[in-house]
């Protein structure tokens, strides 16, 4: 039987619960335990797939095609494991299951209620991943902040499990904030006291309190928190702001978060944590030997979380190349023919981001043209790849009005068209082409040089595709399909033959980059950007424009 660790958050949102949960998981994994993490989100959407990135940040897609919370991305990047649909549960999904069961007659004769029916379904899902001996530890992160009305059923389910499972099989970690008041020159514990009180009113006593703080906690302060919050002083953990999220596991190890959890769970046979590769990565990340500037061309750039996995992939790829990757956000809506030179000429590489809808696409097309004509390393992801295809049609193949039917349904040159299987789809939730699909790579291509294999699988989230009717025209003019789905012939990768590094992919490679397995296209893209930057070293270039991510 697995043991269960619950991570809750208090005082405010955005404290980094996902990072603390992933760091704890990393440490337990490094000590030889089999660990997985899941996230329970209190909103009513069945999944975050239908939410705007401004609302919820990036939608992370798993191998099995689940549209999930971006914290699952952190779990995979830290643990180097795959998560699945089962690792992200929302209130919407819980209610959907219970209501469907009610309609089928599963509760005939009964009044269906929050307690026990909703809480039973929550408990079933909380325990689910720990049922088949695959894992020693299942960590459950509970979204939202303690005190929110909507997370109450999750907390209640956790409370019941604390009593139903053997005492040594559950641990509750509560993450709070210890604010520093500048005027008083003091760290304040009152918000934490209130948050723990609120949690106790909901029937749960935390075993461990992790305190986010910008200043060190004194032993005196830890003693005070322990006293007011009914935990041992050793179970008050300091979580100082770190320069990178990848340092947090080491900070937590110093504070013995893993050991305190293991003590509560009565786990005694464990080895010292094996973190050699993690530390090597951190060293390379902290002491880079060179630097490149990459432009991220997107329309959601005001919100960092919208492109989370892309930014993290750059961190992994930078470390491999011992190169600091400075990502500059360039808003695609404001790029025009007349300012493109000024906006992009300081860059060493260009990444055109994924997206939906027509806002900002013309700016993306103009940027692709700039990269193509100036031998600037180019990497297009999903919509970014589609923009590269449209740019080529318009400016090389002479089809002035070429477009995607997503933006212009009446174009006479639909070089990007809705997939056949999508034509009858009307519902929006979970209906895109989602998850892992295979792709065969063309021998001798840049893609082959990058992946070193002839067959790969990558994850997807799209409805439109390259229109194969135009394939031959493209090939003759120098844009080739170097990766295709073996079954459907869907174009997965395009590249330009006469360009030093120009690649567009229909899939989302950023979803599979981890600390221990950096994604190869990102790695080679940064390498190409380094070479470009060296080549340009003698040239006068303008200062970087745009906001540094």
Label residue 237 left, alpha or beta by phi (over 0 means left) and psi (-120 to 50 means alpha).
beta
- To ligand GLN, the closest distance from the beta carbon of 407 in angstroms equals 9
Give the tokens for residue 81. 């494991």
The backbone torsions φ and ψ at residue 280, rounded to the nearest 5 degrees and listed phi first, read: -60, -45
Beta carbon nearer to ligand GLN, 43 or 300: 300
Q: Is 382 a catalytic residue?
A: yes
Task: Extract the tokens encoding 301.
Answer: 């750039």
How far is the C-alpha of 92 from the C-alpha of 391, rounded, in Å?
A: 41
Size of residue set near ligand GLN by CB under 6 A: 10
Least Å distance, CB 140 to ligand GLN, is: 29
Using the rule CB under 6 A, is 199 a contact of ligand GLN? Answer: no
β-pairing, 170-177 vs 3-9, is parallel
- For position 382 contacting ligand GLN by CB under 6 A, the verdict is yes
For residues 533 and 292, the answer to whether their CB atoms sit within 8 Å is yes
3-class DSSP assignment, residue 130 = coil
383 binding ligand GLN? (CB under 6 A): yes
Which tokens go with 216?
């060190």
Residue closer to ligand GLN (CB basis): 416 or 515: 416
Task: Tell me the C-alpha to C-alpha distance, in Å, between residue 211 and each of 114, 304, 327, 351.
Answer: 32, 24, 30, 37
Q: Residue 491 CB, nearest distance to ligand GLN (Å)?
A: 12
Strand locations in 208-314, DSSP E? 208-213, 236-240, 290-298
- Compute CA 53 distance to the chain's CA centroid, rounded to the nearest angstrom: 12
Residue among 62 and 176 whose Cβ is closer to ligand GLN = 62
What is d(CA 380, CA 391) in angstroms, rounded to the nearest whole number?
12
Question: Is 117 a catalytic site residue?
Answer: no
Q: Is 270 a catalytic residue?
A: no
The tokens for 271 are: 């080895």
Per-residue binding letters, 321-360, with ligand GLN (x by CB under 6 A): ---------------------------------xxx----
Give the integer Cα–Cα distance in Å for 519 and 533.
Answer: 21
Q: How far is residue 475's CA from residue 391's CA, in Å, rounded to a whole number? A: 15
Could you tell me the two tokens for 69?
């919370």
The CB-of-465 to ligand GLN minimum distance in angstroms stands at 7
> Out of 74, 117, 331, 508, which one is annotated catalytic?
508
Q: Taking the mean position of all CA atoms in its chain, how far away is CA 263?
A: 31
- 512 binding ligand GLN? (CB under 6 A): no
In order of 49, 397, 405, 407, the CA distances from 415 in angstroms are 26, 11, 8, 12
**Complex with ligand GLN: residue 144 or 360, whichever CB lies closer:** 360
Name which of 67 and 71 has its Cβ closer to ligand GLN: 67
Q: Least distance in Å: CB of 331 to ligand GLN?
A: 17
Q: How far is the CB of 379 from ligand GLN (least distance, A)?
A: 13
3-state helix vs strand vs coil in the chain, percent to 5: 40, 20, 35
Compute the least distance from the CB of residue 143 to ligand GLN, in Å: 24
Beta-bridge partners for 496? 479
- For residues 59 and 79, which CB has a smaller minimum distance to ligand GLN in the complex? 59
Among 93, 462, 512, 524, contact with ligand GLN (rule: CB under 6 A)? 462
One of 463, 468, 547, 549 touching ligand GLN (CB under 6 A): 463
Q: How far apart are CA 153 and CA 119, in angstroms?
A: 6
Catalytic, out of 312, 458, 495, 510: 510
Kindly name the residue from 312, 382, 439, 524 that is annotated as catalytic: 382
Piece of the chain touching ligand GLN by CB under 6 A; list 235-243, 302-310, 389-397, 460-468 = 460-468
Whose Cβ is closer to ligand GLN: residue 236's or residue 382's?
Answer: 382
* Binding track over 390-419 against ligand GLN, x by CB under 6 A: ----------------x-------------
Omega of the bond leading into 442 within 30 degrees of 0 (cis)? no
| Closer CB to ligand GLN, 57 or 249, in the complex | 57
Q: Residue 402 in contact with residue 413, Cβ under 8 Å?
A: yes
* 298 interacts with ligand GLN by CB under 6 A: no
Residue given tokens 């589609």 in the structure block: 386
Site for ligand GLN in 137-156 (CB under 6 A): none
- Quote the least distance from Cβ 427 to ligand GLN, whole Å: 15
461 binds ligand GLN (CB under 6 A): yes
Please identify, using beta-carbon distances, which residue of 321 and 519 lies nearer to ligand GLN.
519
- Please choose, out of 11-19, 139-147, 231-239, 458-466, the segment that lies near ligand GLN by the rule CB under 6 A: 458-466
| Catalytic site positions | 382, 508, 510
Q: Interface residues with ligand GLN (CB under 6 A)? A: 354-356, 382-383, 406, 461-464
């Amino acid at each position: 039987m697995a043991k269960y660790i619950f991570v809750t958050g208090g005082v405010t949102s955005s404290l980094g619960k996902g990072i603390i949960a992933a760091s704890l998981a990393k440490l337990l994994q490094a000590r030889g335990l089999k660990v997985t993490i899941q996230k329970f989100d209190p909103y009513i959407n069945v999944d975050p797939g239908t939410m705007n990135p401004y609302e919820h940040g990036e939608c992370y897609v798993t191998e099995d095609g689940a549209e999930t919370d971006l914290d699952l991305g952190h779990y995979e990047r830290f643990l180097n494991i795959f998560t699945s649909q089962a690792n992200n549960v929302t209130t919407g999904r819980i209610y959907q299951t219970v209501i469907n069961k009610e309609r089928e007659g599963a509760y005939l004769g009964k009044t269906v209620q929050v307690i026990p029916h909703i809480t039973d379904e929550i408990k079933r899902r909380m325990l689910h991943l720990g049922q088949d001996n695959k894992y020693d530890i299942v960590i459950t992160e509970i979204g939202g902040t303690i005190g929110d009305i909507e997370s109450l059923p999750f907390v209640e389910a956790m409370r019941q499990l604390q009593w139903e499972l053997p005492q040594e099989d559950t641990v509750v970690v509560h993450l709070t904030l210890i604010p520093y008041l500048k005027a008083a020159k003091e760290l304040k514990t009152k918000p934490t006291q209130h948050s723990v009180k609120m949690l106790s009113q909901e029937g749960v006593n935390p075993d461990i309190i992790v305190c986010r703080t910008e200043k060190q906690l004194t032993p005196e302060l830890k003693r005070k928190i322990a006293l007011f919050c009914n935990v041992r002083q050793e179970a008050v953990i300091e979580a100082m702001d770190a320069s990178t999220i990848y340092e947090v596991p080491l900070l937590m190890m110093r504070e013995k978060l893993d050991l305190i959890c293991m003590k509560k769970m009565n786990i005694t046979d464990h080895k010292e944590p094996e973190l050699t590769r993690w530390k090597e990565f951190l060293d390379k990340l902290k002491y880079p030997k060179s630097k490149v500037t990459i432009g991220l061309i997107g329309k959601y750039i005001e919100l960092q979380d919208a492109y989370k996995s892309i930014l993290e992939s750059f961190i992994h790829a930078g470390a491999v190349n011992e190169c600091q990757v400075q990502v500059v956000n360039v808003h695609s809506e404001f790029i025009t023919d007349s300012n493109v030179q000024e906006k992009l000429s300081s860059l060493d590489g260009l990444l055109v981001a994924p997206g939906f809808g027509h806002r900002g696409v013309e700016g993306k097309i103009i940027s692709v043209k700039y990269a193509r004509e100036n031998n600037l390393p180019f990497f297009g992801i999903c919509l970014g790849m589609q923009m590269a295809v449209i740019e080529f049609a318009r400016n090389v193949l002479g089809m002035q009005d070429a477009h995607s039917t997503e933006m212009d349904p009446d174009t006479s040159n639909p070089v990007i068209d809705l997939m056949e299987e999508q034509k009858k789809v009307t519902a929006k939730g979970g209906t895109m082409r989602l998850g892992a699909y295979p792709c065969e790579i063309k021998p001798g291509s840049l893609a082959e040089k990058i992946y070193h294999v002839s067959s790969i699988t990558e994850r997807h989230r799209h409805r439109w595709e390259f229109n194969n009717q135009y394939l031959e025209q493209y090939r003759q003019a120098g844009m080739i399909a170097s990766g295709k789905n073996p079954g459907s012939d869907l174009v997965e990768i395009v590249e330009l033959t006469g360009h030093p590094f120009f690649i567009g992919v229909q899939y989302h490679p950023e979803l599979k980059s981890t600390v221990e397995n950096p994604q190869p296209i990102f790695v080679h893209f940064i390498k190409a950007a380094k070479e470009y930057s060296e080549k340009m070293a003698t040239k006068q270039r303008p200062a970087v424009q745009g906001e540094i991510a």
